A and B are shown apart, each in its own frame.
Chain A
């Protein structure tokens, strides 16, 4: 099955600096890569996603890059703010057949702390 590794497990940055979180996946058939933000006591919230036919996607201060050859993808947050502090999870999924479910395999998470 798919295996997703995520680094670093903890990351502290100064407010205004950039943060980068990296993930690698094992199954070359994976074709969808979402990133979730989870605040304490809440469920994961999708912040950005990328599909395997795209190399980069940006949404305001958040961007994701995908390198299919190396089987890794990264989350970039620029101009970090204290409210960005949370646990971030990457995930990968395979669509086995048209219309079937996307079973997500998650990384182990990164605790991001933005220091004011």
Chain B
């Protein structure tokens, strides 16, 4: 079946621009996670949704980062007024429940110039 998909795969933004990154989880997966992966590093947790409820946003680095999942399926990670340090790969993962295996999408590589 279809896995987790993310779009766009690559995004180049000028510093100060807003960006929106999309995640389509596996159908029926209740839980959705966003991670940030800097070059040469492991993914770092950003936020977690159970259905449409954002239950944990402790990893969001600043109030410029905002995530939503209004209908409990597709999620969008928005970054306002992008900075160079926001350059990274943003990974989305989903699982049937919060305690099950997390399946990752291919990620969106964001480059802020």
Contacts and interface: CB of A to CB of B under 8 A. Distances in A.
Q: Which 4 A-B pairs have the closest CB atoms?
A: A106-B42, A101-B98, A43-B104, A101-B48
B98 A104 contact: no
26 contacts: A4-B42, A34-B101, A34-B102, A42-B107, A43-B93, A43-B104, A43-B106, A44-B91, A45-B104, A46-B101, A89-B42, A91-B42, A99-B97, A99-B98, A100-B55, A101-B31, A101-B98, A101-B99, A102-B95, A103-B33, A103-B48, A104-B33, A104-B35, A104-B45, A106-B44, A107-B42
A19 to B, nearest CB: 18
Interface in B69-113: 91, 93, 95, 97-99, 101-107
A41 interface: yes
A41 B106 contact: yes
A20 B106 CA distance: 26
Interface in A80-116: 89, 91, 95, 99-109
B41 interface: yes
Contacts of B31: 101
Contacts of A103: 33, 45, 48, 56, 59
B42 A108 contact: yes
